[in-house]
Structure 1
Amino acid sequence: MMTIVTVMSDDLTSELAATLRDVRGEQGLTVNALAERSGVSRAMITKIERGEAQPTAALLGRLAAVLGLTLSELFARTEKETPRLARRADQAVWVDPETGYRRRSVSPADGPAQLVEVELPPGASVAYPADSFALARHQIYVLGGRLRFREGEVVHDLATGDCLELGAPTPCEYHNPGTETCRYLVVLSARRGLPG
């Protein structure tokens, strides 16, 4: 079971905690059931839902996938407001306490596609299970730096200006092999046959 988190106290952490708790409740899942399906310990889920601990990006990805949400959908529900214009100053920013991965929700929450700007520090890696990629089509556009993206057994080395559309859902890992921060944009849209 995964148990890596950093204790933090901020508005986004408490709002994210409430959203996770609400979504779990809407789906009639107990903490035990969510723990069993996600591989995250019951104690850790309880701490996260109380706002006592901030989950890492990988851990949050596992929880969101079990709840049937992409990370972008989870953050959109957390942000609650759905303006058509998302000004930079109002865009939610979340930082992974383990890797320093910085995630900014760029697009308005209810649009047909979701745009997420990510800054991945040198040497940092973030892995997600296949379930995280089953809910939406993903494209990755590198804004600056280098990104090594592992898609199952296939490794893609991406440089500034490169754009990759992901294939069938498989476990994936984002890794910055460079000495400078890598900035990339993730574009998510509904997979064919899925609602919304």
Structure 2
Amino acid sequence: MSNIVDPLVARIAARVRSERERRRWTLARLADASGVSQAMISRIERGESSPTAVVLGKLSAAFQLSVASLLALAEGAQDDGTAGTAGVHREADAAEWRDPATGYRRRQITDPQFPAEIAEIHLPPGARVPYPAAAFAFVRQVVWVLDGHLTFHDGDAVHELGRGDTIELGEPTARVFANTTDTGCRYAVILARGARP
């Protein structure tokens, strides 16, 4: 087994640990708040395990952050001092996070300091990614389907979204992003932050 840690996994590890430590939470407290085991949180914080989208959803909900915010903060943690500067961002230079369970891929389009967070998501055929309601607290969010078909569960409502369709998310509720087709789906998430604790 290789000792090389993916740089993005290392940044996610550092972000989860710093969010926990900023709140002065123990591993046990975060485990209680998130429903993720202490052992799994410990492996994530050490960079030994890449969290799935579902686990990230539970952790971000416990922190009262959106998944997009948690990942954007990790993806935007650049060492070269260029985060937040104006200019061109090349696709080839963007960090892409891949969910090890579903193959879901996410690329941050804007820096964390930009007033709106924009991310591009690739959801492979058959993938289903659920998030708890708390992962949508303190944000306003729009989902915009760029290619393919997205089955979006918004609480009890189910929306079938095709290319060009958008949905503005209302009050926080449990949500599921699903691709029930045999072709990939690509969508953008546009998020504006609201008040947070």
The normalised TM-score by structure 2 is 0.90
Larger CA deviation: 30-39 vs 76-85: 76-85
Take 1:153 and 1:126, find their aligned partners in 2: how far apart are those partners? 16
Which residue pairs with 2:91 in the alignment? 88
Question: 3-state SS of the aligned residue for 2:18?
Answer: helix
Question: 3-state SS of the aligned residue for 2:117?
Answer: strand
Matches within 5 A, 1:9-88: 9-78=5-74, 79-80=76-77, 81-85=83-87, 86-88=89-91
Shift of 1:9: 3.1
Take 2:108 and 2:100, find their aligned partners in 1: how far apart are those partners? 17
State the number of aligned residues: 187
Shift of 1:84: 2.9
Question: 3-state SS of the aligned residue for 1:54?
Answer: coil
Matching residue within 145, 149, 160 for 2:148 = 145
Question: 3-state SS of the aligned residue for 2:10?
Answer: helix
Which residue pairs with 1:105 in the alignment? 108
RMSD: 1.6
Which residue pairs with 2:80 in the alignment? none
Question: 3-state SS of the aligned residue for 2:114?
Answer: coil
8 Å Cα contact 1:83-1:109 kept in structure 2: no
Question: 3-state SS of the aligned residue for 1:62?
Answer: helix
- Does the alignment pair 1:165 with 2:168? yes
Percent identical among aligned pairs is 44
Take 1:57 and 1:182, find their aligned partners in 2: how far apart are those partners? 16
8 Å Cα contact 1:84-1:108 kept in structure 2: no
Per-residue deviation, residues 14-65 of structure 1 (Å, max 9, x unmatched): 1211111111101111100000010000110001101110100110111012
Larger CA deviation: 176-185 vs 83-92: 83-92
Question: 3-state SS of the aligned residue for 2:58?
Answer: helix
8 Å Cα contact 2:64-2:137 kept in structure 1: no
Per-residue deviation, residues 62-99 of structure 1 (Å, max 9, x unmatched): 10121122222222322223233333223221000000
Take 1:165 and 1:77, find their aligned partners in 2: how far apart are those partners? 23
Shift of 1:134: 1.1
Matching residue's letter, 1:131? A
Take 2:5 and 2:193, find their aligned partners in 1: how far apart are those partners? 33
8 Å Cα contact 1:122-1:181 kept in structure 2: yes
Matching residue's letter, 1:189? A
Matching residue's letter, 1:175? A
Matching residue's letter, 1:156? H
Question: 3-state SS of the aligned residue for 2:48?
Answer: coil
Question: 3-state SS of the aligned residue for 2:164?
Answer: coil
Take 2:84 and 2:44, find their aligned partners in 1: how far apart are those partners? 25
Question: 3-state SS of the aligned residue for 2:110?
Answer: coil
Question: 3-state SS of the aligned residue for 1:118?
Answer: strand
Take 1:157 and 1:47, find their aligned partners in 2: how far apart are those partners? 37
